[in-house]
Every structure is written in structure tokens, then in C-alpha cells.
């Protein structure tokens, strides 16, 4: 049996640590946490990802996009509670969110009377909601794999 490393953070604790901080400070503090750095390095090695590739991905997605996703995770947990651990129900929820992404993508090309930026924001919001569901589902799977 694998020994489970205690996770020093949850979605809620990450968001609360970020609140009240400006710019990258809060996110960098979180991302440079030794536990997080170790886990990222382990994942990189096992997936064949170089450190340079990982740093490039970090520059592309942090903090703006990941902050949006983490905010959505917290919002969704407050609104809907914990995502079901039943993988079929979680997949159904993700499928419903994917349907909303598809609908928003179609709307972005059809409703030309609405401002373009408004249509793109709606599409982005739907992608963020899908990403939040995916993160929450992956969290459950990781807990099941580690006995958590």
C-alpha cells in the first residue's frame, strides 16, 4: 500500500490564501510550495515532460486561467456541494457542461447581434466550468487511488 502524502491545500484553502493578495504573489507562493513543486516534478518525470515544457505551460496558464478555474471550483462547491464520487454521475455532469460549451460555441457564431467580446466571455465561462468539473472529478480519482 502506498503511503499517502498529506496535501497541505484544498480548493478552498488555495482561494482563501489568494484573497487579498495582488498580482502573482499569492499564486506564486502556492505554486512554489515544496509539496507542490515535488508533485509537479514527479508528474513531469513520469509523463516525459521536461522542466522547460512545464515552465512554458505555467507561463501560458498561470495565474489568470487557473485562477478563473479555481474560483469556479469554489463557487460550484458552494452552490452544488461536493461533486459525486460516483464516476458515472461525475462524467454525466462533465458531459452536461461539455454540452453547454458546444452550445456557447455555436452561439458565438450565430448571435452576431450580441457584441463579440460578450459571446467570447460566455464561451470562456463555459470552458472554465467544464475545467472545474474535471478538476473536481480528478481530485476524487486521486483520493481513491491513494486511499484518501
pLDDT digits (tens, 9 = 90+) for 112-147: 888 889 999 999 999 999 999 999 999 999 888 888
**In the chain, what percentage of residues exceed pLDDT 90?**
39
Task: Identify whether 77 is part of a domain.
Answer: no
**More confident call, 43 vs 31:** 43
DSSP letter string, the chain: -PPPPPPS--HHHHHHHHTT--TTHHHHHHHT-HHHHHHHHHHHHHHT--HHHHHHHHHHHTTHHHHHHHHHHHHHHHHH-SPPS-HHHHHHHHHHHHHHHHHHHHHHHH-TTS-HHHHHHHHHHHHHHHHHHHHHHHHHHHHHHHT-
Q: Is residue 45 part of a domain?
A: yes
Banded pLDDT at 38 (limits 50, 70, 90)? low
Same domain for 51 and 89, yes or no, is no
Q: What is the mean pLDDT of residues 72-91?
A: 93
- Any domain includes 72: no
- Residue 21 within any structural domain of the chain: yes
Q: Is the per-residue pLDDT at 11 higher than 70?
A: no
74, part of any domain? no
Q: Looking at the predicted structure, is the pLDDT value of residue 8 above 50?
A: no
Whether 15 is in a domain gets the answer: yes
* Within-domain flag for 139: yes
pLDDT per position as a tens digit, 45-66 = 557 777 777 778 778 877 788 8
Assess if residue 128 is contained within a domain: yes
Range(s) of the domain holding residue 147: 83-148
Residue 84 has pLDDT above 60, yes or no: yes
Domain count, the chain: 2
Amino acid at each position: 500500500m502506498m503511503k499517502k502524502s498529506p496535501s497541505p491545500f484544498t480548493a478552498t484553502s488555495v482561494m482563501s490564501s489568494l484573497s487579498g493578495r495582488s498580482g502573482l504573489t499569492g499564486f506564486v507562493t502556492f505554486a512554489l510550495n515544496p509539496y507542490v513543486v515535488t508533485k509537479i516534478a514527479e508528474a513531469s518525470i513520469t509523463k516525459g515532460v521536461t522542466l522547460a515544457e512545464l515552465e512554458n505551460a505555467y507561463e501560458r496558464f498561470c495565474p489568470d486561467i487557473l485562477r478563473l478555474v479555481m474560483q469556479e471550483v469554489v463557487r460550484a462547491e458552494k452552490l452544488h456541494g461536493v461533486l459525486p464520487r460516483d464516476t458515472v454521475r461525475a462524467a454525466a455532469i462533465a458531459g452536461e457542461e461539455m454540452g453547454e460549451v458546444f452550445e456557447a460555441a455555436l452561439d458565438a457564431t450565430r448571435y452576431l447581434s450580441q457584441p463579440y467580446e460578450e459571446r467570447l466571455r460566455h464561451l470562456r465561462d463555459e470552458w472554465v466550468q467544464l475545467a472545474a468539473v474535471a478538476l473536481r472529478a480528478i481530485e476524487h480519482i486521486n483520493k481513491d487511488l491513494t486511499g484518501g
